[in-house]
Amino acid sequence: MGMEQEKLVRAALRTIKGVGSQHLRLLIAYFGSAVKAWEAPQSKYLQVANQGKWLGEILKGRNNIDPREIGETLYKRGIKLIIPDEPDYPALLAELADAPPLLYYRGHLGGEAEVLAIVGSRQATTYGKSAARMLARDAAAKGIVIVSGLARGIDTAVHQGVLDSGGRTWAFLGCGLDRVYPLENQRLADGILAKGALLSEFTPGTPPNGVNFPARNRLISGSSRGVLVVEAAEKSGALITVDFALEQGREVFAVPGPIFSPQSRGTHHLLRQGAKIVEGVEDIWNEVPAWSKHVCHVSLNSESLHEKKDPPAEMDLGSILQQLSDVPLHIDQITIHSTLPVSSISLALLELQLGGKVIQLPGQHYVLAREC
């Protein structure tokens, strides 16, 4: 009951106006636990450093708050609590000095998992979304947990790619877990919960205000051993995640993009600054020994193996090549004459581009590369 009581009191403190993760961390450091802070007399609060209105709010609020009622409300909403002392708390995040003293989550965690963050622009191109989906799918198929932010664009493609592989993905939200933002990703969020988790350090009821997202980005990078940026404009929020990653000592990777695309400027800047270039997941394994060892011991499920080695899939790539020439062909025309599922056309074209066989032109038109 001790651990459960501590979690409920931390949740109770977080509902008090002005008490954020930083203040909660300060109270725990001073009193030794949230429970002791909750029970401490007013005189003890006068000795707490960083005095402010928030301390007075605690003294008033704790007389009107029942932590057990908060726990019951969270339970009815399917929201669970976890603190750094528990084994399922994301292991790398727990090592940070500013790790959230309380996380809310729905779904399934596994703190010892190897984790890769994949992030990028909300205004993603077809190329970027296809690359993100493919890389997330391939990494998740190797047993790596993929973390992103459930935002539009690249984040959405990342989570979809993991679900394609049957793997696990975590989504950190910039709002309370009583809502999904953006709303159109509700179905995607439901899919994530089958094996993965939605997480937040914000109390239920917190709206998705812009000021919350940098804090959310800090958790994405902090929970991961490395951050892969697929697309980012010059002032993309994904670059904020990279700044946190560098402060936290994480690896930084980037996917090169078309030189004509504004969404490539951020990633190309990262590459010039020393980020590792990624054209396939093997580029990541080669840079992170822990992942190389991990993927060597992961047994893929039989369906994933079958999907990757099915000979007809290779023949379908050939059938796409047969359609192409020096005359630009739109992706819709390729789809009509292909035997591949519509959902796989973009991925197939991306694989052909990465293999140097196909070139994408503006407007989703494709031609054969000269060497073909």
CATH code of the domain in which 49 resides: 1.10.150
| Any domain includes 110 | no
- Domains: count for the chain: 3
| Any domain includes 97 | no
**Residues 272 and 148 both lie in one domain:** yes
| Any domain includes 78 | no
Which strand ranges, in their side-by-side order, compose the sheet holding 365-368? Answer: 329-330, 365-368, 358-361
Cis before 182? omega within 30:
yes
**Residues 205 and 292 both lie in one domain:** yes
**Residues 171 and 268 both lie in one domain:** yes
| Any domain includes 182 | yes
pLDDT of residue 354: 79
| CATH number of the domain residue 245 falls in | 3.40.50.450
> How is residue 160 written in tokens?
């979809």
345 to each of 131, 154, 160, how far by Cα in Å? 12, 18, 15
pLDDT of residue 293: 64
**Residues 344 and 208 both lie in one domain:** no
Contacts of 339 (CB under 8 A, 6+ apart): 316, 319
| Any domain includes 165 | yes
pLDDT of residue 314: 47
**Residues 314 and 262 both lie in one domain:** no
| Any domain includes 105 | no
Cβ contact 185:208 at 8 Å: no
Domain containing residue 332:
310-368
**Residues 165 and 280 both lie in one domain:** yes
**Residues 277 and 128 both lie in one domain:** yes
pLDDT of residue 296: 56
Query: What is the residue-level pLDDT of the chain in tens, covering all 372 positions?
Result: 589 999 999 999 999 999 999 999 999 999 999 999 999 999 999 888 778 899 999 999 999 999 999 999 999 999 999 999 999 999 999 999 999 999 999 999 987 779 999 999 999 998 999 999 999 999 999 899 999 999 999 999 999 999 999 999 999 999 999 999 999 999 999 999 999 999 999 999 999 999 999 999 999 999 999 999 999 998 888 999 999 999 999 999 999 999 999 999 999 999 999 999 999 998 998 888 777 666 655 534 434 333 443 433 444 687 788 888 877 888 877 877 777 776 678 888 888 887 788 888 877 788 888 653
**Residues 275 and 223 both lie in one domain:** yes
Phi, psi of 360 (to 5 degrees): -95, 135
Residue 330 CB neighbours (<10 A): 13
**Residues 324 and 274 both lie in one domain:** no
Domain end, chosen from 261, 296, 331, is at 296
**Residues 158 and 249 both lie in one domain:** yes
pTM: 0.80
| Any domain includes 304 | no
Domain end, chosen from 266, 296, 326, is at 296
**Residues 198 and 152 both lie in one domain:** yes
pLDDT of residue 317: 80
Cβ contact 353:280 at 8 Å: no
| CATH number of the domain residue 326 falls in | 1.10.10.10
| Any domain includes 73 | no
**Residues 53 and 126 both lie in one domain:** no
pLDDT of residue 313: 45
